[in-house]
């Protein structure tokens, strides 16, 4: 994988965005091809508090992209670099995906300190849950101190992606029921920071009060902060960044950051083991036959699974002998 090393050097040295795009494509392709081989860029983790992964989630149209765009501006004002991953779980294509966001963030694309990339992972091996951590690890290894991950899409996938960030920002809007929606989607537990964006709209006070009472009910001794923003004007975005900076420092000092990252790595390991196993199982000569027999009702699914697992263990033992 000398090629990969050369690309990595070009990104580390000159912030060659073309080289970075090629590296991400390599990761994507290896997942799309169901190629479990070493991509060669996931080797070691850099030191713990040199970077932070911030995930943004919330209802469609809540203003996540506008907010991320503004946050890029604030981070750049503080002369730090930032990478943005826009994750589109519904599309098998990257590049054209999330066109609107591309346009929105276009002002930053000529800035060498900003890297924006959309990641479309439907149909890939393990989908999002495997691709996102790999690409995040790549971005972190080439030295981006801020990695912002925005998801488009709804429901389950959002929550899944939430698990891939150090700090999760849940974006709500003023208006009846938004916080109720968030709580139904399981986002209340996942939130480290709440943003009430579109604070220029009516209903701000009510939404804040709803949210606060919901958090009270949750009874956490350490409820997440609530930041009000108007992403279109940038109002409140500096405050959001301050709050992220503070939280990141606190989490690093308390050990929470490394605890979360350790958990994430173990989850990733488990997913990869599952994927590896199912791939190996599917490759067994017997797999097709067992599937047919299960479909026909001749064998129960459990007996079929047991038979295939036994076969796999046997073939593993043979190849080792
Ligand atoms: N009035 C007002 N409009 C906003 C604000 N923030 C974003 N918008 C508008 O809301 C619309 C949706 O914003 P986006 O940033 O695309 O929202 P999103 O959450 O990224 O949307 P998806 O990616 O489709 O889920 C756009 O028309 C924005 O201009 C705000 O603070 N106030
Ligand atoms: Mg968006």
The CB of 62 under 6 Å from ligand 1? The reply is yes
Residue 127, sorted as left (phi over 0), alpha (psi -120 to 50) or beta, turns out to be: left
The CB of 198 under 6 Å from ligand 1? The reply is yes
Question: Which of 80-89, 180-189, 301-310 is predicted with the least confidence, judged by mean pLDDT?
Answer: 180-189
d(CA 272, CA 268) in angstroms, rounded, equals 6
Pocket test for ligand 1, best of 63, 185, 199 (most atoms within 8 A of CB): 63
What pLDDT does residue 97 have? 42
**pLDDT tens string 56-105:** 988 888 899 999 999 999 999 999 999 998 886 655 544 444 445 555 66
Ligand 1 centre to CA of 175 (Å) is 14
> What number does the ligand 1 atom closest to the CA of 59 have?
25
Ligand nearest to the CA of 232: 1
- Among protein residues, the one whose CA lies closest to atom 13 of ligand 1: 63
d(CA 162, CA 139) in angstroms, rounded, equals 18
What pLDDT does residue 131 have? 79
The CB of 48 under 6 Å from ligand 1? The reply is no
What is the third-level CATH fold of 46-254?
Rossmann fold (3.40.50)
Provide mean pLDDT across the span 242-269: 92
The CB of 16 under 6 Å from ligand 1? The reply is no
Ligand 1 centre to CA of 231 (Å) is 8
Share above pLDDT 70 across residues of the chain, in percent, rounded to a whole number = 76
What H or E segment, with its residue span, contains residue 208?
Answer: helix 204-218
Could you tell me the CA-to-CA distances from 82 to 74, 112, 148, 190 in Å, in that order?
10, 10, 7, 23
Ligand nearest to the CA of 153: 1
Residue 2 pLDDT > 60: no
Of the pLDDT bands very low, low, confident and very high (cuts 50, 70, 90), residue 129 is low
The CB of 173 under 6 Å from ligand 1? The reply is no
Ligand nearest to the CA of 61: 1
| Most confident range, picked from 81-90, 157-166, 190-199, 266-275 | 190-199
- Residue among 263, 257, 264, 262 at smallest CA distance from 52: 257
Mean pLDDT of the chain: 82
The CB of 123 under 6 Å from ligand 1? The reply is no
68 Cβ contact partners less than 8 Å away, ≥ 6 residues apart = 56, 84, 105, 148, 150
The CB of 200 under 6 Å from ligand 1? The reply is yes
The CB of 235 under 6 Å from ligand 1? The reply is no
d(CA 95, CA 147) in angstroms, rounded, equals 19
Backbone φ and ψ of 276, nearest 5° = -60, -45
Of the pLDDT bands very low, low, confident and very high (cuts 50, 70, 90), residue 162 is low
Backbone φ and ψ of 194, nearest 5° = -100, 135
**pLDDT tens string 24-51:** 888 877 766 655 555 555 545 556 668 9
- Every domain of the chain with CATH number 3.40.50.300 lies at 46-254
Question: Which of 2-11, 63-72, 203-212 is predicted with the least confidence, judged by mean pLDDT?
Answer: 2-11
100 Cβ contact partners less than 8 Å away, ≥ 6 residues apart = 65
Ligand 2 centre to CA of 47 (Å) is 31
What pLDDT does residue 34 have? 57
Range 180-188 contact pairs with CB under 8 angstroms and sequence separation of 24 or more:
180/210, 181/59, 182/58, 182/59, 183/214, 185/155, 185/158, 185/159, 186/159, 187/57, 187/58, 187/158, 187/159, 187/162, 188/214, 188/215, 188/218
pLDDT higher at 187 or 260: 260
């Amino acid at each position: 994988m000398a090629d990969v090393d050369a690309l990595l050097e070009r990104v580390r040295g000159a912030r060659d965005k073309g080289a970075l795009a090629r590296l991400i494509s390599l990761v994507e392709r290896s997942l799309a091809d169901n190629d479990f081989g070493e991509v060669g860029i996931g080797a070691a983790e850099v030191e713990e508090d040199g970077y932070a992964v911030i995930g943004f989630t919330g209802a469609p149209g809540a203003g996540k992209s506008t907010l991320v765009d503004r946050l890029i501006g604030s981070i750049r004002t503080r002369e730090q670099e930032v990478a943005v991953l826009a994750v589109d779980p519904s599309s098998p294509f990257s590049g054209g995906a999330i066109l609107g966001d591309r346009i929105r963030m276009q002002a930053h694309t000529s800035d060498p300190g900003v890297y924006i990339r959309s990641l479309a992972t439907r149909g890939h091996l393990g989908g999002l849950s495997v691709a996102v951590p790999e690409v995040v690890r790549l971005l972190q290894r080439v030295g981006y101190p801020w990695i912002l991950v925005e998801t488009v899409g709804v429901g389950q996938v959002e929550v899944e992606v939430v698990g891939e960030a150090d700090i999760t920002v849940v974006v709500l809007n003023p208006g009846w029921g938004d916080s109720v929606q968030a709580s139904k989607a399981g986002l209340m537990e996942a939130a480290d920071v709440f943003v009430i964006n579109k604070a220029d709209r009516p209903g701000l006070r009510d939404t804040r009060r709803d949210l606060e009472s919901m958090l009270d009910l949750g009874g956490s001794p350490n409820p997440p902060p609530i930041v009000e923003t108007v992403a279109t004007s940038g109002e409140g975005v500096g405050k959001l960044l301050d709050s992220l900076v503070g939280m990141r420092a606190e989490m690093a000092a308390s050990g929470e950051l490394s605890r979360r990252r350790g958990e994430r790595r173990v989850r990733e390991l488990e997913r990869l083991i599952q994927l590896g196993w199912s791939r190996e199982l599917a490759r067994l000569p017997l797999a097709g036959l067992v599937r047919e027999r299960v479909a026909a009702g001749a064998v129960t699914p459990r007996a079929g699974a047991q038979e295939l697992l036994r076969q796999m263990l046997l073939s593993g033992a043979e190849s080792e002998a």
